[in-house]
């Protein structure tokens, strides 16, 4: 399989050796919320993927220009724009992967849960359309609060009779990206080598980086563990405060989401060595959904890996127990939102 990467210092010619005769650009990807702060840079990164043949951009406004702009990049994929609910079905037909970053972002002082009322409805409506038009697609949910929007998506897919737990993902890649970056900085490690699994959910204390499982193996003092854990959990807030009212993480999120899309496409393409942390239906704990490392394959989640949760440090084991009530409540809130309306 073609090795795609987002390493920035590769020359275009090296990056796309098959540009004239694309060998593997066969996958169709849609972004719902494509004109937004995440959607635009995410669309650009996906436009750079040699694995993509069609890139469909959907939003309720302002997406025509984004698509026109991107369509001038001489990479294999064809970019099409779709505006408003009347064009949503056409956007979705035949898609392999649907990424959903539609919704409102946080402002200073807001938690991810404060976004619930607006984003819950948006995700519900969009997932209904996915169920009707491309029920076999991988669905990547970015819209917050992910701990609740994923259960919302599940309920919608169940109501439509097309729920496949292997193909629905809450995107937590940014937590892993942050953990890798912060650990590499703190320990003077080569960034590219560092891999920290992050489990649990995607909000506050439900984000649990398992620093003891960092690869390459590295030791931390108790104070470092505390400082790094809190920084990774609050990475989103760091950005929200720095942007001072102008939104939340968009560029790093786009990077993280593009990595998750690329991993999904490599898995679809038959690469047997694709692992990512994400928020999925899970039996690892007593909670119905849980983020952990999973193996991705052609049909979606091939295995939810349990190894990371074995041999936890005392700090990690305590943090795991402490996050469960909040994560459980967020999951139940999402389920109740859909069931109330049924």
Crossing angle, helix 222-233 and helix 173-187, to 10 degrees? 140
Q: How many residues does the chain have?
A: 342
DSSP string, 47-116: HT-TTEEEEEEEESSSHHHHHHHHTTS-SS-EEEEEESGGGHHHHHTT-SEEEE--SPPP-TT--GGGGH
Q: What is d(CA 107, CA 246) in angstroms, rounded to the nearest whole number?
A: 7
Of 177, 162, 178, nearest in space to 130 by CA:
162
Residues 25-44 interacting with ligand NAI (rule: CB under 6 A): 32-33, 35-39
Instruction: Check binding of 278 to ligand NAI (CB under 6 A).
Output: no
Decide whether 187 or 333 has the Cβ nearer to ligand NAI. Answer: 333
Q: What is d(CA 103, CA 100) in angstroms, rounded to the nearest whole number?
A: 9
Decide whether 248 or 264 has the Cβ nearer to ligand NAI. Answer: 248
Exactly one of 57, 97, 127, 142 binds ligand NAI (CB under 6 A); which one? 142
* Smallest separation (angstroms) from ligand NAI to the CB of 297: 23
Exactly one of 50, 101, 300, 334 binds ligand NAI (CB under 6 A); which one? 101
Q: What is d(CA 3, CA 47) in angstroms, rounded to the nearest whole number?
A: 15
Residues 103-122 interacting with ligand NAI (rule: CB under 6 A): 103-106, 115, 119, 122
Instruction: Check if the beta carbon of residue 97 is closer than 8 Å to that of residue 27.
Output: yes
Instruction: Check binding of 59 to ligand NAI (CB under 6 A).
Output: yes
* Smallest separation (angstroms) from ligand NAI to the CB of 123: 9
Decide whether 24 or 146 has the Cβ nearer to ligand NAI. Answer: 146
Q: How many helices (H) and strands (E) does the chain have?
A: 11, 11
* Smallest separation (angstroms) from ligand NAI to the CB of 128: 11
Decide whether 247 or 297 has the Cβ nearer to ligand NAI. Answer: 247
Residue 202 is a catalytic residue: yes
At residue 150, what are phi and psi to the nearest 5 degrees? -65, -50
Instruction: Check binding of 147 to ligand NAI (CB under 6 A).
Output: no
Decide whether 167 or 202 has the Cβ nearer to ligand NAI. Answer: 202
* Smallest separation (angstroms) from ligand NAI to the CB of 113: 11
Decide whether 259 or 328 has the Cβ nearer to ligand NAI. Answer: 259
* Smallest separation (angstroms) from ligand NAI to the CB of 38: 3
Exactly one of 48, 253, 304, 331 binds ligand NAI (CB under 6 A); which one? 253
Name, in order, each residue with C-beta under 8 angstroms of 295's C-beta and a sequence gap of 6 or more: 274, 275, 301, 302, 303, 305
Longest dimension (CA), the chain: 56
Instruction: Check if the beta carbon of residue 198 is closer than 8 Å to that of residue 171.
Output: no
Instruction: Check if the beta carbon of residue 98 is closer than 8 Å to that of residue 130.
Output: yes
* Smallest separation (angstroms) from ligand NAI to the CB of 182: 15
Instruction: Check binding of 165 to ligand NAI (CB under 6 A).
Output: no
Q: Which residues bind ligand NAI (CB under 6 A)?
A: 32-33, 35-39, 59-61, 101-106, 115, 119, 122, 125-126, 142-144, 146, 171, 174, 202, 247-250, 253
List, by residue number, the catalytic residues: 202
């Amino acid at each position: 399989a073609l090795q795609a990467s987002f390493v920035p210092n590769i020359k275009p010619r090296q990056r796309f050796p098959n540009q004239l005769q694309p060998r593997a650009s066969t996958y169709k990807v849609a972004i719902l919320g494509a004109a937004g702060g995440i959607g635009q840079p995410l669309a650009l990164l996906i436009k750079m993927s040699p694995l993509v043949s069609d890139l469909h951009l959907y939003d309720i406004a302002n997406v025509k220009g984004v698509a026109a702009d991107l369509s001038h990049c001489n990479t294999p994929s064809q970019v099409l724009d779709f505006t408003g609910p009347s064009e949503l079905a056409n956007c979705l037909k035949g898609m392999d992967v649907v990424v959903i970053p539609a919704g409102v972002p946080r402002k200073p002082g807001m938690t991810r849960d404060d976004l619930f009322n607006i984003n819950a409805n948006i995700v519900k409506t969009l997932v209904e359309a996915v169920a009707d038009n491309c029920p076999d697609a991988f669905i990547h949910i970015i819209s917050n609060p992910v701990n609740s929007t994923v259960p919302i998506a599940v309920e919608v897919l169940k109501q439509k009779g097309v729920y496949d737990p292997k193909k629905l993902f809450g995107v937590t890649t940014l937590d892993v990206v942050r953990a890798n970056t912060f650990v590499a900085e703190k320990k003077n490690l080569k960034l590219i080598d560092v891999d920290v699994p992050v489990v649990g959910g995607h909000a506050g204390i439900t984000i649990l980086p398992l620093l003891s499982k960092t690869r390459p193996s590295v030791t931390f003092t108790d104070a470092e563990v505390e400082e790094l854990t809190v920084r990774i959990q609050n990475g989103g807030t760091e950005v929200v405060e720095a942007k001072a009212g102008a939104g939340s993480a968009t560029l790093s999120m786009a990077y993280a989401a593009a990595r998750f899309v690329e991993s999904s496409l490599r898995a679809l393409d038959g690469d047997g060595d694709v692992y990512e942390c994400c928020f999925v239906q899970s039996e690892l704990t007593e909670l119905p959904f849980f983020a952990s490392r999973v193996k991705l394959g052609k049909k979606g989640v091939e295995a939810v890996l349990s190894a990371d949760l074995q041999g936890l440090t005392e700090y990690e084991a305590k943090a795991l127990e402490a996050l469960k009530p909040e994560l459980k409540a967020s999951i139940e809130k999402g389920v109740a939102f859909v069931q109330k309306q049924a």
